Amino acid sequence: MASSSGSSHNRGSFWSAGRNVDSSSPIPYRERPLDYTPAVMCKCGAKAAMFTSWSDLHPGMRYLKCARARVVGCDFWLWVDPPHSQFVKQLLLDLRDAVRSLRQEKGALQCQLQDAERSNVALQGAFADAERSNAALQGALADARRENATIQAAYVEARRENADVDGRRDVQSL
What tens digit of pLDDT does each residue of 65-74 get? 998 888 888 8
Position 70 scores a pLDDT of 84
Based on its alpha-carbon atoms, the radius of gyration of the chain, rounded to whole angstroms, reads: 41
Q: Which residues pair with 15 in a beta bridge?
A: 20
pLDDT of residue 8: 40
- pLDDT (0 to 100) of residue 30: 67
Angle (CA) 80-83-89 rounded to 5° is: 120
* Block mean pLDDT (10 aa), the chain, length 174: 40 47 71 85 90 92 90 90 96 94 96 97 96 96 96 93 75 66
CB-based contact 40:64 (threshold 8 Å): yes
Q: CA angle, corner 33, sides to 30 and 38, nearest 5?
A: 95
CA angle 117, 123, 129 (to 5 degrees): 145
Contact (Cβ atoms closer than 8 angstroms) between residue 59 and residue 97: no
Q: Find all residues with CB under 8 Å of 87, minimum gap 6, and list them.
A: none
* pLDDT score recorded for residue 23: 67
